[in-house]
Amino acid sequence: MNVDANHKVREPIRDKIFFVFTVIFLAVFVIITLYPVVNTVALSFNDGIDAVRGGIYLWPRKFSMKNYKTVLDMQNIWVGARITVLRTLIATLTSLFANAILAFIVSRKRFLFKSQLSLFWVITMYVNAGLIPIFLLYKNLGLTGTFHVYWIPGMISAFNMLVMRTYMEGIPDSLEESAQLDGAGYWTVFKDIVSPLCKPVYATVALFIAVWQWNSWFDAMLYNRMKTEYTTLQYELMKLLSSVMQQSGSAENAKNGAATITPITIRAAATVATMLPIIMLYPFLQRYFVTGLTIGSVKE
Amino acid sequence: MAKTKVKEKKVKVTWKEIKKQKFLVIGTLFLVAYGILFYYWPLTGWIMAFENYKPKSGILGSKFVGLDKFRFLFGDDVFIKAVRNTFAMGVINIVTTTFMAVLTAVLLNEVKRAWIKKPIQTISYLPHFLSWIVVTGILHDSLSASGIVNDLLLRFGFVNQAINFFAFPKYFWWIVAFAQNWKETGWNAIIYLAAITAIDPALYEAASIDGADRLQKIRYITLPGIKPTFLVLLLMNVGNVLNAGFEVQYLLGNGLVQSVSQTIDIYVLKWGISQNDYSLGTAAGLFKSLVSIALVVIANAFARKYTEERLF
């Protein structure tokens, strides 16, 4: 603020122009980010036929809940929602635990194979077998066509490990040493000393994993295409959107009154329903990821 | 205390020590077994790229064909285009997202009032948490004939007729770049903002006393201050150039823009999974992996030579 006080003395014209530019840039940035989302919400609450006329911006013109009713009446949506919730819960718990253990082990200063284990996992970030060998592996292991393909293969990620390792390395050794003098084993150190201190970074990584799981669709398409009982919400949304895109030529039919609901509003309703949980939880989770991300990735 | 600790850091591998670290060693065994199974073992699948792989005969029993698959790949116009598209979109994405992230972070940092800055930031990260399905769906609506973009273009008289953006190859790479920027700018700016916060405020005060204006302070203090972060992220991104192409292109692509939308990953998916030519799919994937590794190594070597930053 001292700096600003100094500026008041003789505010150069360049500073004023710059200030105006900053305001305009940020305003446009916010509008471009928010508008499409708000518009989608408005469309989702608008009557289907009415929406064909266009011209709906921030608020529905002819309010209707029919789009949501249609979406919620789709059977697969409920199957997908159940599987998505399940995979998000299971994968977040298992993956968080596995990554935390890995990070704990490689952050122990006295550990004999510390650098080798670290390197072993960092290599996996850069060397990737590719789609086909991995597809065949999952097939041979009997993971395709099952629910387990969603949580077993991706359990450990070197990136999450690095984020947690950096955080754990910041915890003073003396805590661990004094606990060990009291006879605590490594498991106790992990459970009762390191983990409670790592809550912020655990929250961050859990958030990363949960969002990743919630948004996944490719694995459902690739490994469980034939298994409708393991479909996910995003994959159902994708099928809905792509079928609508193909049908968009027949929007004319809808206009002629054959159906009361046109694709674009249903699409909007499905989109909103899918992103709703994230948007609702988002304000509460926000404070975690900023700290976690900056700690983890600036210094590797 | 801390200093002596550093000296005795090298712990010798002895049975006694292993026994003491039993928990860590057993954990390591599990983690390594898992890593070998899911990350290292699939690498043996690369052999398929040099075979005419038949699932019935397995990797060991299939016929060895040398570089035949690669010859086919490089003779295939579609593959060459896929490589070009992947590179082009990767480079465009890295350049534009880096530029936007730095610009947003620098400008946000100029906003001193928390009640303005915080909400802007909150809004800016939001798209990062939406799936590509949702983002491409929204983008599709915005760019459709009745969408907001055409609405504005028509209203201000830039065009006489709505443009079908998804029908012309010339728009595709830029639509992808826009989607990428829309989704990730706020998120990427977090790291730069953190780096800016770490700059010593005394530098700014000294500059003010010397009569520097805001632009000069950005140019001579802020930008040099975030250079290390910029370089590390750039290094990490270089290895990811070829990874910049699957979901968006798959979801936004269509028959009309196929020549510019298809990437290596989509090519692998089409040949490997849909056509069941596992060998060809593996060969294309192997090519991508090798180029990615080479890029990381080269970028790292450059960084070692010219800057203080490196990845390994």
Query: What CATH code is carried by the domain that includes residue A287?
Result: 1.10.3720.10
Backbone angles phi, psi at B53, to 5 degrees: -65, 125
**Mean pLDDT for the stretch of residues B253-276:** 91
Would you kindly state where each structural domain of chain B is located, as residue ranges? 2-64, 69-306
The predicted pLDDT at position A250 comes to 41
Q: Which residue in the block uniquely carries the two structure tokens 């290895």?
A: B239
- Which chain A residues have a beta carbon less than 8 Å from that of B239? 126
Strands B63-64 and B51-52: antiparallel
Number of residue pairs across A and B with CB atoms under 8 Å? Answer: 247
Following DSSP, what letter does each residue of A230-274 receive, concatenated?
G--HHHHHHHHHHHHHHHGGGHHHHHTTS-S--HHHHHHHHHHHH
A202/A171 Cα distance (integer angstroms): 14
Interface test with A, best of B28, B34, B230 (most A CBs within 10 A): B28
Comparing CA positions, the residue from A31, A52, A64, A20 lying closest to residue B123 is: A31
- Which chain A residues have a beta carbon less than 8 Å from that of B275? none
Closest-approach residue (CA) in chain A for B202: A3
Interface test with A, best of B13, B24, B118, B178 (most A CBs within 10 A): B24
Give whole-number Cα distances, B107 to B100, B184, B202, B237, in Å. 10, 17, 20, 23
- Which chain B residues have a beta carbon less than 8 Å from that of A153? 38
> Is residue A51, in this structure, part of any structural domain at all?
no
- A90-125 tens-digit pLDDT: 999 999 999 999 999 999 998 999 999 999 999 998
Range of the domain at A254: 68-300
- B113-168 tens-digit pLDDT: 889 998 999 899 899 999 999 999 999 889 988 889 999 999 999 999 999 999 99
A109-119: string of b/e by CB count within 10 Å (b at 16+)?
ebbbbbeebbe
A175/B74 Cα distance (integer angstroms): 59
- Residue B9 pLDDT level (bands cut at 50, 70, 90): low
CA distance A155 to chain B (A): 9
- If one counts the domains in chain A, the total is 1
- Which chain A residues have a beta carbon less than 8 Å from that of B43? 127, 129, 133
CATH class of B69-306: mainly alpha
pTM above 0.95, yes or no: no
> Is residue A101, in this structure, part of any structural domain at all?
yes
Provide the ipTM.
Answer: 0.87
- A137-161 tens-digit pLDDT: 999 999 999 999 999 999 999 989 9
- Which chain A residues have a beta carbon less than 8 Å from that of B107? 22, 25-26
The predicted pLDDT at position B88 comes to 95
Q: Which helix (H) or strand (E) holds B64?
A: strand B63-64
**Mean pLDDT for the stretch of residues B191-201:** 90
Closest-approach residue (CA) in chain A for B266: A131
Rounded to a whole number of angstroms, the CA Rg of chain A reads: 25
B219/A233 Cα distance (integer angstroms): 47
> Is residue A27, in this structure, part of any structural domain at all?
no
The yes-or-no verdict on residue A10 having pLDDT over 70 is: no
